[in-house]
Chain A
Amino acid sequence: MLKKIIAIIEKETEKKIDIKKSFLDNNFDSLDIISVVMGIEKSFKIKIADKNLKKIKRVEDLEKILKKN
């Protein structure tokens, strides 16, 4: 799952990510995160609620959301 998430992140943002760091420390801005979330939703056919957007600080937060779904 992690590999797929990273592939989506890199495809959607055209940026490399160090998963040990937060999105912010990887120089991802709010629009990058929205693009990632939309890419995740499309690939995994899930819906991530707007209220959960602010909780997404790192790649592991996306993993947690996906595992819950």
Chain B
Amino acid sequence: MISIDSIKSYIPKSNLNIKKKYKNINKNFLIEKIGTNAVARKRSNEDVVSMCIKAFKKLKNKKLPNLKVLILCTQNPEKNGLPHNSAIIHAKLGLSESIATFDISQGCAGYVYCLKVCENFLNNNDQALIFTCDPYSKIIKKGDFNTEILFGDAATVSVIKKCNKGQIIKDYSFFSNTLNNKAINNFNGYLEMNGRGVMSFAEKYVEMEIKNILKKNKISINDIDKFYLHQGSKHIVNKITKILNVENTKVPLCIKNIGNTISSSIPILLEKDDFKKNKYSILCGFGVGLSISTCIIKKL
């Protein structure tokens, strides 16, 4: 079993002020539906690698004697992914040669995918680093209202440990609805998104996936302390909360001044919300693919 030991994020201080750029936009729409007036934007001299390093530098304990794996989750790597950007991070951090280092190409569901992969790489007391960084600002067409107001840039790092105590991942579930893969895609170098398609997918299948994994593990939905959902927008998080029929307080939001940070949104949520006090938590990412990844975390 593995546990999430610590998480740190790097969120650029620079941002895109949506209200300033789109002066006619309804203020309530931004606050109530998107969840923010501004989205984080990396500076021109920042990239996937430098943002990941900045997240790593925030870790209290940077000495990881049992580090065996370094994974980077991104779909917008530098140098078109050659070399895989995790290798550049590995080199810059001066890590041991005996560490498996690779990228995972996944989007909003990517964090749980990375956790599952770690599980298979680690033996007792081994450690892993999961980085997430997907700066969509690299592929957003300037002036594309639908995507520009939604996505923010960020990076996170999580220290994962193979152990039997702490916030242990109890089970995983994965779902792929790939016939709709064009709902979020890169077309001629620019991000294209069919918001309705993504919303419809999330509303239809996220509840199903969460309820299935709970049923399989014989856990009541009422026993879950927190549901850490991918922060697609305030609207979609609220919709899923309503569909699940759980209290709003059990479904934290962290979009304000950040935006939808793709694979970074769940680790940012976990970092900001004191997840270690929960007995049971659910993580659920959904998006690009279209895919859903869910896991149950139990405090042991």
Range of interface residues on B (Cβ < 8 Å) = 10 to 19
Residues in B whose Cβ lies below 8 Å from that of A50: 194, 196
B199: contacting residue among A27, A34, A53, CB under 8 A = A34
Q: Let me know if B81 is at the binding interface, CB within 8 A.
A: no
Q: Let me know if A31 is at the binding interface, CB within 8 A.
A: yes
Whether B29 lies near A29 (C-beta < 8 A) is yes
Known: A29-B26, A29-B29, A29-B33. A35 touches B239 (CB 8 A): yes
A38: contacting residue among B26, B29, B33, B200, CB under 8 A = B200
Q: What CA separation (Å) do A50 and B193 show in the bound complex?
A: 13
Residues in A whose Cβ lies below 8 Å from that of B29: 29, 31
CB distance from B18 to the nearest CB of A (A): 14
Q: Mark A49-62, 1 if CB is under 8 A from B, else 0.
A: 01001000000000
Known: A29-B29, A31-B235. A38 touches B203 (CB 8 A): yes
Whether A53 lies near B33 (C-beta < 8 A) is no
Residues in A whose Cβ lies below 8 Å from that of B235: 31
Mostly helix, strand, loop or mixed at chain B's interface? helix
Q: Let me know if B195 is at the binding interface, CB within 8 A.
A: yes
Residues in A whose Cβ lies below 8 Å from that of B196: 34, 37-38, 50, 53
When C-beta atoms are compared, the residue in chain A nearest to B199 turns out to be A34
Q: What CA separation (Å) do A37 and B196 show in the bound complex?
A: 10
Tell me which residues from 265 to 295 in chain B have a Cβ below 8 Å from any Cβ of chain A.
none
Residues in B whose Cβ lies below 8 Å from that of A31: 29, 33, 235
CB distance from B235 to the nearest CB of A (A): 5
Complex A-B, nearest 10 residue pairs according to Cβ-Cβ distance, in ascending order = A29-B29, A31-B33, A34-B196, A31-B235, A38-B200, A29-B26, A34-B199, A29-B33, A50-B196, A38-B203
List residues of A whose CB falls within 8 A of some B CB.
27, 29, 31, 34-35, 37-38, 50, 53
- 21 chain-A/chain-B pairs, Cβ below 8 angstroms: A27-B28, A29-B26, A29-B28, A29-B29, A29-B33, A31-B29, A31-B33, A31-B235, A34-B195, A34-B196, A34-B199, A35-B199, A35-B239, A37-B196, A38-B196, A38-B199, A38-B200, A38-B203, A50-B194, A50-B196, A53-B196
